[in-house]
């Protein structure tokens, strides 16, 4: 696990124990795991990204916890800014005061946003241009369709899409989902995953072989 207060690096692409991060991306106060890849023009702040997860280009991520093997397509945004609609004005001069010469910024507003973390489970696929609102959890194995706006928690192994996103179907039946959540293959060591790659292509065989009974 690596911690970046700031990042500026140019490397040839190679996935290894050290993350690959495109030099055009801005990373601040973020933990990034091994075998990870951060694509072009990403902005990531105050977040954590688990092993083997990757982002494509032009993603914006803040105040989010991303688990392992997460597939993040281009233009995905996690935890977008939410303006104070209940105040007399929702403009950010009320909390970004320093920009306008109105004094110190309102830290309580930003702390409120930090407390509404987005949580993304293992082996999740976030489709192109999807938006996950603050405080939402997306369960292990779930799929979020392209251009969806997710305002509520997403169940493990469900497929959601739309504005707002709703469940379209589940990837597997209840029995298989239960077994997959028991197996937790994403916690296997790197070498074990490599030896068992072929088994992933047949889900029923996979759960028979690695499930508990």
**Per-residue pLDDT tens digits for 48-101:** 999 999 999 999 999 999 999 999 999 999 999 888 888 899 998 888 999 999
Contact between 203 and 196 (Cβ < 8 Å): no
12 with 97, same domain: the answer is no
CB atoms within 10 A of CB 141: 23
How far is 111 from 211, CA to CA, in rounded Å? 42
Contact between 82 and 113 (Cβ < 8 Å): yes
Q: Can you give the pLDDT at residue 113?
A: 84
Confidence of residue 213 (pLDDT cuts 50, 70, 90): low
Structure tokens, 77: 């945004």
Contact between 140 and 121 (Cβ < 8 Å): yes
185 with 126, same domain: the answer is no
72 with 133, same domain: the answer is yes
Structure tokens, 188: 């296997």
132 with 162, same domain: the answer is yes
14 with 75, same domain: the answer is yes
Domain that holds residue 101: 81-114
Model pTM score: 0.89
Q: For the segment 93-141, what is each residue's pLDDT rounded down to a tens digit?
A: 888 999 999 999 888 888 888 999 999 999 999 999 999 999 999 999 9
Domain count, the chain: 3
Task: Find the mean pLDDT for residues 10-27.
Answer: 81
How far is 60 from 90, CA to CA, in rounded Å? 22
75 with 98, same domain: the answer is no
- Of 114, 132, 163, the domain-final residue: 114
CATH of the domain at 148: 2.160.10.10
52 with 121, same domain: the answer is yes
Would strands 30-32 and 2-4 be described as parallel, antiparallel, or unpaired? antiparallel
Contact between 119 and 142 (Cβ < 8 Å): no
**Of all residues in the chain, what percent carry a pLDDT higher than 70?**
93
How far is 84 from 177, CA to CA, in rounded Å? 39
Helix axes of 203-210 and 174-183: crossing angle, nearest 10 degrees: 50
Residue 83 annotated to the active site: yes
180 with 102, same domain: the answer is no
Which residues are CB-contacts of 175 (< 8 A; sequence separation ≥ 6)?
Answer: none
- Of 98, 114, 130, the domain-final residue: 114
Confidence of residue 15 (pLDDT cuts 50, 70, 90): confident
CB atoms within 10 A of CB 143: 23
15 with 32, same domain: the answer is yes
Nearest to 209 by CA among 191, 188, 190: 188
122 with 100, same domain: the answer is no
Q: Which among 83, 91, 128, 190 is annotated as catalytic?
A: 83
Is residue 11's pLDDT more than 80? Answer: no
128 with 47, same domain: the answer is yes
17 with 93, same domain: the answer is no
């Amino acid at each position: 696990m690596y911690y970046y207060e700031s990042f500026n690096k140019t490397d040839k692409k190679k996935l290894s124990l050290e993350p690959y991060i495109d030099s055009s991306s801005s990373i601040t106060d973020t933990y990034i795991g091994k075998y990870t890849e951060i694509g072009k023009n990403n902005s990531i702040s105050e977040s954590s990204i688990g092993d083997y997860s990757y982002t494509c280009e032009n993603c914006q991520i803040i105040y989010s916890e991303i688990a392992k093997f997460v597939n993040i397509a281009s233009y995905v945004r996690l935890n977008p800014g939410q303006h104070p609609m209940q105040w007399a004005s929702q403009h950010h001069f009320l909390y970004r005061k320093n920009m306008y010469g109105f004094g110190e910024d309102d830290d309580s507003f930003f702390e409120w946003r930090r407390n509404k973390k987005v949580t993304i489970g293992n082996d999740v696929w976030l489709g192109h241009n999807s938006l996950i609102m603050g405080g939402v959890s997306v369960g292990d194995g779930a799929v979020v369709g392209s251009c969806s706006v997710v305002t509520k928690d997403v169940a493990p192994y469900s497929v959601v899409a739309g504005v707002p996103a709703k469940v379209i179907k589940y990837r597997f039946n209840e029995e298989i989902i239960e077994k997959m959540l028991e197996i937790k293959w994403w916690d296997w060591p790197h070498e074990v995953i490599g030896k068992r790659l072929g088994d992933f292509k047949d889900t029923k065989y996979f759960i028979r072989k690695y499930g508990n009974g």
